[in-house]
Structure 1
Amino acid sequence: MGGQLGVAVLGAGHMGADHIRRLDRVVSGARVVAVADPDRGRAEAATAGIDGVSLHADALAALDAPGVEAVLIASPGPAHEEALLGAFERGLPVLCEKPMVPDSAGALRVVEAEARLGRRLVQVGFMRRYDAGYRRLKSLLASGALGRPLMLHCTHRNVSSPPGFTTAMLVDSSVSHEIDAARWLLDQELTAVTVLRPRPSGNAPEGLADPQLVLFETSGGALVDVEIFVNSGFGYQVRCEAVGESGSARIGDEHGMVVTTAAGAVEDVAQDYLVRFADAYDREVREWVEQTRRGRVSGPSAWDGYASALVAETGVRSQRTGARHTVELAPRPALYTQEA
């Protein structure tokens, strides 16, 4: 594609507005030409100062706007399937924020629709694959320096949960990142899930079972445990330690600025994901734009989006029963047998 890539952004909320800013001010080679959001005021605020942007209440109308060559989906998860299928009909490459589609049946429909096209159009927004620490850990594991991987120990903490956050969302929203990261780091599928629920924290809203411990089994015989704690009260922390036969490696301990005064030393702690993973989001969108302009699609695929949705669904089932549940993936289409 010559010139700048014309992008339609679907959704102008917290994530969508940040991507609009990123495409306009941070990433070269692209421009925002259309934005869809049912809240006109929110769309106007997100695009203030950007010339030539058309605003739409309907997502599919934005896909048909003049100059649109690619789509970035940052709308709520239930709206993703329609937008993805609409992009397929128009032959538009897509960067879709997670979840690709919240339910595994819908995610499988997207996989099957893309497989019928015979070419990839979708990259799913699992941005941890673009984080410098995660990439170093991936390279280390792939090198064999730690020997065969045995376990991953993961921590995922938020300051507080937003209004309307449910117990199921601890797994199908928050832990979905660890689901994809574990599959990618280990190059293995997750085959079973067990969710354990301790006594809820007194800081958790009424009725929210927080924190939880999620245990995954993998196709290669490794174990992955995730502490998910969305009302820690002090900061946003994401850590991962890989334990192999010959050693271990941990990421996520990077220190922020430390201020020392007569009162003592205080270290900055990130308060949300847009701060902690700012560089990863920038790298993710930059690489998507570069690849799209070359007519290529790389990164997490629609199959990865489906696998994450199915594992998360299985985890929610374990939440409810307290039992171990196995993951039964559909047959993998040939389109996804050689992932980038």
Structure 2
Amino acid sequence: MTLGIGLIGAGGMGRAHLARIHNDLAGARIAAVADINAEAARTAAEPYGATVYTSSAELIADPQVDAVLIATFGKVHAPDVIACVEAGKYVLCEKPLATTPEDCIAIMEAEQKAGKKLVTVGFMRRFDTAYRQMKEVLDAGEHGYATLVHCRHRNPSVPEGYTTRNMIDDTAIHEIDICRFLLDEEIVSVRVDTPRATSRRYDHLQDPLVLVARTASGVLIDDEVNVNIQFGYSIECELVMEAGTVRLGDQERVHVRDTAGNRNAMCQSHIDRFQEAFNREVQEWINAVAADRHTGSTSWDGYAATCVVDAGLASLEDGGLQVDVEMIAKPAFYA
């Protein structure tokens, strides 16, 4: 069976997903593309012979669309995710699931009413080989339980429209989710510290930030978010256990040794670093949809990450005070 995939949101991320489905993955075809910008939808759909829509409702209703991939802005995710659930169609929604806990709760309520997990949130790091190996080391238990996680999220630069808020809700959200995945427990409090700002930033931006979080069992997480580091896109993580540590392997491309020294090329973007994880994420989703089963992160994971982001933003606004993460009790549906 070849699945018909409908894409909502024909921006850069959406087009990247179209290319990987067509060129790199198996079991699916591009059936339709929707975007409020008709020209963007047409340009994205044309190479694949896909139907063009200017409304998400039309795409979701299309009988040729078996499953939906959402790559629009986070603020507009909730209505389309709920519409997919009500139509009984699996949906892979890029992070965040929604930008408010209330919208995430509405999605979970719709999914529970449908009686079936249909929503996967696009936290692609869960599909990265190195992170999965880190989790295997911890879960094996040989080194005891986790006590600390040190994270670093460094970008060479960001566009002028990127805000200090985005450092938490668009960037640190990746570490928030992957730490929940690694540790298999919830984050219960957050503090955001503001070090001396780099001169390489736009004036409106507080860069870098350090997000400090604590989990239910007391594991302490620190996440340096540094988005104008200049030299490359560098994602680092070290998990400290009672009797050992495990960290991500080196992420450089090649080593050059000559009279100038020993040096290596660095990743320059999230696509460069996580291309294989993106491909694995979407391929596993396609395979799961074809088998009528859920895979990857759930709506609850999207909700939990949004709640932690909310606490982080509150801490930032309150001058770095520790803020407790407020969450509803986890529904049995997501146990």
Instruction: Tell me the TM-score range normalised by the shorter chain.
Output: over 0.9
1:190 maps to 2:196: no
- Residue 65 of structure 1, CA deviation: 2.3
Match of 1:11 among 9, 12, 21: 9
Q: What pairs with 1:81-160 in structure 2 (closer than 5 Å)?
A: 81-160=78-157
- Residue aligning to 1:212: 209
- Residue 58 of structure 1, CA deviation: 1.0
- Residue 252 of structure 1, CA deviation: 4.4
Could you tell me whether the CA contact under 8 Å between 1:240 and 1:252 is conserved in 2? no
Q: What pairs with 1:1-340 in structure 2 (closer than 5 Å)?
A: 3-51=1-49, 53-321=50-318, 322-337=320-335
Q: Distance in 1 between matches of 2:257 and 2:57?
A: 53
**Which secondary structure does the structure 1 equivalent of 2:165 belong to?**
helix
Could you tell me whether the CA contact under 8 Å between 1:238 and 1:252 is conserved in 2? no
**Which secondary structure does the structure 2 equivalent of 1:55 belong to?**
strand
Q: Distance in 1 between matches of 2:281 and 2:169?
A: 22
* Residue identity in the other structure for 1:69: D
Q: Which range is displaced more, 109-118 or 141-150? A: 109-118
Q: Distance in 1 between matches of 2:75 and 2:134?
A: 33
* Residue identity in the other structure for 2:275: A
**Which secondary structure does the structure 1 equivalent of 2:296 belong to?**
coil
* Residue identity in the other structure for 2:59: A
Q: Which range is displaced more, 41-50 or 265-274? A: 41-50
Residues 54-100 of structure 1: CA deviation (Å, up to 9, x unaligned): 11111111112241010001111111111111101210001110001
Could you tell me whether the CA contact under 8 Å between 1:63 and 1:87 is conserved in 2? yes
- Residue 239 of structure 1, CA deviation: 0.9
* Residue identity in the other structure for 1:55: V
**Which secondary structure does the structure 2 equivalent of 1:209 belong to?**
coil
TM-score (norm 2): 0.97
Q: Which range is displaced more, 35-44 or 86-95? A: 35-44
- Residue 259 of structure 1, CA deviation: 3.0
Could you tell me whether the CA contact under 8 Å between 2:88 and 2:114 is conserved in 1? no
**Which secondary structure does the structure 1 equivalent of 2:98 belong to?**
coil
* Residue identity in the other structure for 2:161: G
Q: Distance in 2 between matches of 1:246 and 1:258?
A: 32
Residues 223-278 of structure 1: CA deviation (Å, up to 9, x unaligned): 00000011111111111100010100110423311234444444111111011000
Could you tell me whether the CA contact under 8 Å between 2:111 and 2:118 is conserved in 1? yes
**Which secondary structure does the structure 2 equivalent of 1:47 belong to?**
helix
Residues 76-125 of structure 1: CA deviation (Å, up to 9, x unaligned): 11111111111012100011100010111111111122112221000111
Q: Distance in 2 between matches of 1:259 and 1:16?
A: 35
Which structure 2 segments of 5+ residues have no match? none
Q: Distance in 1 between matches of 2:278 and 2:5?
A: 16
Q: Distance in 2 between matches of 1:252 and 1:71?
A: 34
Could you tell me whether the CA contact under 8 Å between 2:255 and 2:265 is conserved in 1? yes
Residues 115-153 of structure 1: CA deviation (Å, up to 9, x unaligned): 122210001110000000000001111111221100000
**Which secondary structure does the structure 2 equivalent of 1:277 belong to?**
helix
Q: Which runs of 4+ in 1 moved over 6 A?
A: none
Q: Distance in 2 between matches of 1:308 and 1:198?
A: 24
* Residue identity in the other structure for 2:115: G
Work out the percentage of aligned pairs sharing the same amino acid. Answer: 38
Which structure 1 segments of 5+ residues have no match? none
Could you tell me whether the CA contact under 8 Å between 1:237 and 1:252 is conserved in 2? no
Q: Distance in 2 between matches of 1:110 and 1:300?
A: 14
